[in-house]
Amino acid sequence: MIDISQRYQILAELGRGGMGVVYQARDVVLGRVVALKRLLAKDNRFVIERFLKEAKSIAALNHPHIIQIYDIGEDRDGLFITTEFVEGADLARLIARQGKLPFKVALKIIVPTGEALAYAHERGVIHRDIKPANILLTQAGAPKIADFGLARLESEKELEKTGLIMGSLCYTSPEQFKTAKHVDHRTDIYSMGAMFYEMLTGQSPQFFRADEIPEPFKAVVLKAMQKDREQRYQNMRAMLADLHRVSRNAIDAAGKTTAPISPANETGAAPTTDMILIPAGPFRFRSEARVVQLPAFYIDVYPVTNRQYAQLVPGHVFAPEEAEHPASKVTWVEANAYARKLGKRLPTELEWEKAARGSDGRIYPWGNEFSADRCNAFESGIGAPTSVKAYPEGRSPFGVMDMAGNVWEWTSTFLDERQAARVLKGGAFNGAAKFARCDARFAYPERGLFPAAGFRCARSAE
């Protein structure tokens, strides 16, 4: 029997229900903040068995948009479980505060959530209680599915004997009201449809009205919420495929109806950018075996945004909500010309990498472990560029932002002696974690239009 107080320091109570209480706690051994869930009904064997199933079902899952389990134990007060702690709000609070969400915001939550559920379903795990309160949002806005306390493994039959109805009424599939014995993964699909309805309309599914659903997404919501589960999407991947298709159409339609933003036409002013001084000194380039000395230089804190780029290039067109996204679909020649207009230049690969990793040879700007909460990469599940200020926790040791994921960034360095292509760094929203490494590189012809390429500027300190 362990003494939990020797391992965890309780910081605050986060919530309390009939089955348990959740605390914010500090793991004093590993030095991290966790969520600690204490089971109150310690004498109820059925509840205890469900609690253990919760721990096992979560522990079997490893996905960036599912809360990670760290530990499970028992002391004199009964069972407890510790999980990842998410410092942020949940989707229910976001909707309560903002009402209906812009469809791009809704998609950036519903798609990664769907990817996580598809992952769980493919491993035999059903959540059974998908609702906005169980979708936690990190400070960067990334969703994480919480409370698999009502999940069960499809291969296990114990819960089927009880016939218990679980879940929250507004998001609960019709079959759960009839019996919980034969509920399958399609109950989560219904709940996803109900939750997406609330995100798009700002109205509770309790007061469902099909005419309130924005037209591009109506068919998806209605199919997900079919009362007959045989008429629903039969798996999460099918729903995601339709979401991707209709979202592309919606984004294209929004772009056609949005007037170009050209601030230069209004003010004629040159864009202003903040730069950071990177001090002279050594750093490890591309491998720990190669140490390079660089003179001091300045580099932009953020990639050049659509708003900034349009101030000098009036023909650059983008939607209003993309003003702070990195300027992309920019060739090397165009990026270099922009920098020169401001009396700057593009950074060399050496400069870019030092600004990203510092002098300690770290793998990512923030450290040596990949985190989907610190950058916009494929694993983040967003599927499109985001604001250059969306991931403050992903800053480099020098305070340079957005150097991993979002869009690749042009450098002035040629790939090789043939001088046929320039090096890009940093990875992109559609690239895997390995491309977000500081030492990763890609190359493209300098006059080629690479859709996921952006840039930032540099200048010498002397």
| CATH number assigned to the domain comprising residue 401 | 3.90.1580.10
Q: What is the pLDDT of residue 42?
A: 61
Q: What is the mean pLDDT of residues 175-203?
A: 89
| Same domain (yes/no): 421, 381 | yes
Domain with 450 in it: 263-460
Q: Where are the beta strands (DSSP E) in 267-342?
A: 275-278, 281-284, 291-294, 297-300
- d(Cα 38, Cα 57) in Å, to the nearest integer? 17
Query: How are strands ordered across the β-sheet holding 8-16?
Result: 8-16, 20-27, 32-39, 78-84, 69-75
Instruction: Look at phi and psi of residue 281 and say left if phi exceeds 0, alpha if psi is from -120 to 50, else beta.
Output: left
| Same domain (yes/no): 119, 50 | no
pLDDT tens per residue across span 386-439: 999 999 889 999 889 999 999 999 999 999 888 889 999 999 999 999 999 999
| Same domain (yes/no): 290, 433 | yes
Structure tokens at 106: 């809704």
The structural domain count of the chain equals: 3
| Same domain (yes/no): 100, 126 | yes
Burial of 288 (0-12, 13-18, 19+ CB in 10 A): exposed
The candidate with the shortest Cα–Cα distance to 181, out of 161, 201, 197, 195, is 161
- d(Cα 453, Cα 338) in Å, to the nearest integer? 14
- What 98-103 contacts at long range (C-beta under 8 Å, 24+ apart), as own/partner pairs, is 98/202, 99/202, 100/199, 100/200, 100/201, 100/202, 100/203, 101/199, 101/200, 101/202, 102/321, 103/200, 103/214, 103/216, 103/217, 103/247, 103/250
| Same domain (yes/no): 247, 315 | no
At residue 247 the predicted structure's pLDDT band, cuts being 50, 70 and 90, is: confident
pLDDT tens per residue across span 198-234: 999 999 998 899 999 998 899 999 999 999 999 999 9
- d(Cα 458, Cα 462) in Å, to the nearest integer? 12
| Same domain (yes/no): 341, 275 | yes
How is residue 65 annotated by DSSP?
A: T
Kindly report the CATH number assigned to the domain that includes residue 37. Answer: 3.30.200.20
Q: What is the pLDDT of residue 141?
A: 80
Structure tokens at 174: 């019709």
**Residue in 90, 129, 373, 402 annotated catalytic:** 129
The candidate with the shortest Cα–Cα distance to 283, out of 270, 268, 296, is 296
- Of the chain, the percentage scoring pLDDT greater than 90 comes to 45
Domain closes at, from 84, 114, 134: 84
Instruction: Look at phi and psi of residue 31 and say left if phi exceeds 0, alpha if psi is from -120 to 50, else beta.
Output: left
Q: What is the pLDDT of residue 301?
A: 93
Q: What is the mean pLDDT of residues 363-382?
A: 93
| Same domain (yes/no): 274, 253 | no
| Same domain (yes/no): 54, 183 | no
Kindly report the CATH number assigned to the domain that includes residue 199. Answer: 1.10.510.10
How is residue 328 annotated by DSSP?
A: -
- Inform me whether the pLDDT recorded for 163 exceeds 50: no
Q: Is position 3 annotated as part of the catalytic site?
A: no
Q: Where are the beta strands (DSSP E) in 280-418?
A: 281-284, 291-294, 297-300, 408-414
Give the Cβ contact number of residue 168 at 10 Å.
16
Nearest-5° Cα angle at 318, 315 to 324: 115
| Same domain (yes/no): 126, 247 | yes
* Rg of the chain taking only CA atoms, in angstroms: 25
At residue 114 the predicted structure's pLDDT band, cuts being 50, 70 and 90, is: very high
How is residue 452 annotated by DSSP?
A: T
How is residue 425 annotated by DSSP?
A: E
| Same domain (yes/no): 269, 372 | yes
Domain closes at, from 257, 292, 307: 257
Domain closes at, from 237, 257, 277: 257
Helix (H, G, I), strand (E, B) or coil at 292: strand
| Same domain (yes/no): 136, 194 | yes
DSSP state letters, 93-162 = HHHHHH-SPPHHHHHHHHHHHHHHHHHHHTTTEE-S---GGGEEE-TT--EEE--GGG-EETT--TGGGT
Q: What is the pLDDT of residue 263?
A: 30
| Same domain (yes/no): 52, 177 | no
Instruction: List C-alpha distances in Å: 295 to 362, 400, 437, 462.
Output: 20, 18, 23, 9
Q: What is the mean pLDDT of residues 96-104?
A: 86
- Of the chain, the percentage scoring pLDDT greater than 70 comes to 85
Structure tokens at 92: 């229910």
pTM of the model: 0.55
